[in-house]
Structure 1
Amino acid sequence: MTDTTIRAAGCVLWRRFPGTGDLRLCLVHRPKYDDWSHPKGKLKPGEDPLAGALREVEEETGYAAEPGAALPVLRYVVGGRPKEVRYWAAEARAGGFVPNREVDRILWLPPAEARGRLTQPRDRDLVDALLCALHLT
């Protein structure tokens, strides 16, 4: 039997807001789906999930990221196929956003606003997991 699971990885990307030090989370807007989500994407064949997560963050947001704690794995069905997305907390480092074909906008929002902006309810639990990983809850 062939495993048809779609494997993907991403990060809950965060940084401290310059000046105040307040926590901000990065959400990406994908025009193809008209949704707001955490940066993520499909893994290349044989790609390490963490390496893939960091690659996707940089491709979608323009920011290099310093990985932190592993966050919950999300599992759901897309187009009749199971999908598994592994996530990590990641602090944004150097970089800057440039709109591209996959992501046309990003927002840096406080956790409560990010939770409310996320399109998929399953993505909201990752905000809480990040706050726990950063020892903020």
Structure 2
Amino acid sequence: MGKSGKFINRWKNLSYNGKVIFLKSVICLSLIKAGLALLPFAAFRKVFHWITSTSTVKEVSQQQIELTVWAVDTAANLLPFELLCLPRALATKYLLRKAPFLTLEIGIEVNPAKHFEAHAWVENNGTVIMGKWPESVSYHRLWAWT
């Protein structure tokens, strides 16, 4: 069974809330992709910071976090354009913006034998929830976006 077949089976079993989160992920990823393509990064960062800023913080269940991460990854894999780690991390950060202790991290791979390689990921209280990498790879954190 292909990606779309697995998705259709999962879609049928999703709750209403799960379907809403998935559809929000599709919209969010599409807008982020457009924003990153059309705006200089400094301008995009200001707009993104403005829309993710919230004075309301609320606890988010582990189930909600896992569902959101699944929705973002699945939507990113199904959409007809490439969505690498940065748009996925930005979408996750936006969709879970009210969760305390959630940070978007950007770093570079620590490996002198390789060319420069950057990576973006999201951490919840120090645990990577989006953008995990193999244990054989090590990244040096350059920037944390809280």
Shared fold (TM-score, shorter chain, > 0.5): no
More strand by share: 1
Q: Which has the higher helix share?
A: 2
TM-score by length of 1: 0.30
